[in-house]
Amino acid sequence: MNDTPTPDRFNEERAAYTVRGSDVPDIEAGIAAIRNVLKTLPARPGVYRMQDARGDVLYVGKAKALKARVTNYTQVARMPRRLSRMVAQTRSMTIVTTNTEAEALLLEAQLIKRYRPPYNVLLRDDKSFPFILLRSDHAFARVQLHRGARRSKGDYFGPFAGAGQVRKTLNALQKLFLLRSCTDSFFANRTRPCLLHQIRRCSAPCVGKIGEEEYADLVGDAKAFLQGKSTQVQQKLGGLMTVAAESMDFELAAIYRDRLKALTYIQGAQAINAEGVADADVFALACKGGTVGIQAFFIRGGANWGHRSFFPAHTADVPEDEVLASFLMQFYEDVPPARLVLVDRALPEADLLCEALSARAERKVSIKQPQRGEQRKLLDQATRNAEEALDRRLAESTTQSKILAEIAELFELPGPPNRIECYDNSHIMGTNMVGAMIVAGPEGFRKNGYRKFNIKRTETAPGDDFAMMREVLERRFARLEKEDPDRKSGEWPDLLLIDGGKGQVSAVFATMEEMGVHDIPVVGISKGPDRNAGREHFHMPDGRESMLPLNSPVLFYLQRVRDEAHRFAIGTHRAKRAKAFTANPLDEVPGIGPARKRALLMHFGTAKAVRGAGLEDLQRAPGVSAAVAQAVYDYFHPSG
């Protein structure tokens, strides 16, 4: 996003100021840079970004009165050590003014998510939440799982904590309401019912087994169910079953009976101690040993739509209520808030949070800290889950820290590695060659750090694993040297783990030496005799080899890292191969878009026929001009 918000988001009266300060690496230089900004700073709401000498964002904050807030950073004696370090690194600031403090709060959350500054509390779990989508752009609405931007027309129900909860609910919707889940193209090309109809999971509107009006009734029942009106649906099904039985249509009555049984089962499976709570998001925070865990429950229509644990980063020396408030704003950046948000503690500026969330949701959102009743019981349940999740996290961290310390001892590293990069290649007989890199650290696999490399160099012979690895590493570390020559970003690895034996390790070590990277340890991992898992050999660049006991936790950990790199490499290769299977020679012809490609294929039948067609034949194809026909002909006949 730009420094200045777009006009449709905020009003016109906004300004952005960027002031550069001294580059002297001490706190006086930081204060001088801040005071330089204060000279032109207005006393109005806005957002400020503090940046270091390289322009990297250190911190994003908002203020009701910018001048008063930023002035506080010049009073070093009153600041905690964390903020003192931040001020000492500050060399510039960027200011964006807004009309209201609520607008500033919304913008602050956006910028934190974009820049991920080291001095802000960060929501590390950035996985999107799944929703159920009932589409309304078709006469027979499709029900499906949905992630990402909500651009399709229809009703969205969520968020769900995970895809597992969505699939269970979709399964229930199929059993209860017989809604279609197939794609529009599949729907349009059916001539007889599919298996789902045969097992009573779909009403088969694709072949006219049900009319639009009847299907619309089923869709209405599904919406009522997802909105928590299951009792209403239950009564309706019960009435239909009774009518069918009285009419001696026992087969139809049995169908309604089975749907009622499925509804009763789902009601029991989704039940949670949430009486009197229709729609709510519930958050409870636990803190132990400097680590913060937040538990979130999602209640919709009185039903439990799952829960998820979060462990925010950069929480040291930050009050717990501020951690939760910052977490909520980042969490709701992409997730629509419920009408009621229950929290386990009083939040700073709770009214402002409500105003900002209401503006984002375009309806009233309330934040409440219940003290008694059913809402309090629900919150106590979330608190208990937060504490248990945090205990598990700490136990796993302790085990992980011990394993990393043993890895450091095994491979003679200066300390436990914070970032392990594992590399692997994948290809079939030299085709669709790819390299893959995965990242592991104290907190587990860092999937946002994974990288894939399409092997591009013409000098890399097909199937040459050594040359492939050389190309991958040269590209990886050339970029690191360019983007982070001072190694301050944390993107430089502490250990390179290579899926391969002596030859691979020697090639990697030689490549690293040629690039001038001499201080990153390289270790190869290869399977032992008969390629048996558990008999892995570890290869050092100096020729030494070692093995670990079969029951060693370190061996299990390194196997997991190696297997994850192999999985990622294979998946990347398969995706590239699948794309190659569907590639069309016409895709490469300049000026040929989807419409003209479709017209040519419809006229000639195959891409091979287009390739062999004469210029006059191409000109006779509908929708193809003389210029386009000439371009296609010239592409396939360059010597003509």
Q: Which residue has the higher pLDDT, 200 or 379?
A: 379
Within 13 A of 359's CA, how many CA atoms are on the CB side? Answer: 17
Say what the pLDDT of residue 430 is. 59
How is domain 16-115 classified at the architecture level of CATH?
A: 3-Layer(aba) Sandwich (3.40)
pLDDT of residue 18: 37
- What is the model's pTM? 0.66
Comparison of pLDDT for 397 and 53, the residue scoring more: 53
Report how far residue 197's alpha carbon sits from residue 204's, in angstroms, rounded to the nearest whole number: 6
585-636 belongs to which homologous superfamily? 5' to 3' exonuclease, C-terminal subdomain (1.10.150.20)
Helix (H, G, I), strand (E, B) or coil at 110: helix
User: With bands split at pLDDT 50, 70 and 90, how would you rate the model's confidence at 422?
Assistant: very high
The pLDDT tens digits of the residues spanning 502-524 come to 888 888 888 888 888 888 899 99
Q: Which tokens go with 112?
A: 């934190």
The tokens for 583 are: 């590639």
- Tell me the DSSP string of 111-171: HHHHH--TTS-B----PPPPEEEEE-SSSS--EEEE-S---SSEEEE---SSHHHHHHHHH
Nearest alpha carbon to residue 554 among 620, 495, 595: 495
Q: Work out the percent of the chain whose per-residue pLDDT is above 90.
A: 17
3-state secondary structure at position 327:
helix
Backbone φ and ψ for 515, nearest 5 degrees, come out as -85, -5
DSSP annotation of 12 reads S
When mean pLDDT is compared across 14-28, 393-407, 420-434, 552-566, the lowest value belongs to: 14-28
CATH architecture of the domain with range 420-425+437-564? 2-Layer Sandwich (3.30)
Q: How far is the C-alpha of 375 from the C-alpha of 343, rounded, in Å? A: 10
Return the domain boundaries, the chain: 16-115, 131-270, 281-318+337-391, 420-425+437-564, 585-636
> How confident is the model over 115-155, as pLDDT tens digits?
889 898 888 765 678 888 888 888 888 888 888 777 788 88
What percent of the chain lies above the pLDDT cut of 70? 87
| 305-343 per-position pLDDT tens digit | 778 889 998 888 888 999 999 999 988 887 888 889 999
Distance CA 60, CA 120 (A): 7
| Token code pair at residue 588 | 């490469």
More confident residue, 218 or 589: 218
Query: What does the pLDDT read at residue 354?
Result: 92
Q: What is the pLDDT of residue 230?
A: 64
pLDDT in tens, 259-316: 676 666 555 545 444 556 778 889 999 998 788 999 998 888 777 777 888 999 888 8
Of 246-250, 477-481, 482-486, 604-608, the poorest mean pLDDT is in 604-608
Q: Which two tokens stand for residue 25?
A: 């690496």
- Span 455-459, mean pLDDT? 78
According to the 3-state scheme, what is the secondary structure of 245-312?
HHCCCHHHHHHHHHHHHHHHHHHHHHCCCCCCCCCEEEEEEEEECCEEEEEEEEEECCEEEEEEEECC
List alpha helices for 460-552, DSSP H: 465-483, 502-514
The values of phi and psi at residue 342, to 5°, are -100, 130
Q: Give the ranges where 418-464 is alpha helix by DSSP (H).
A: none
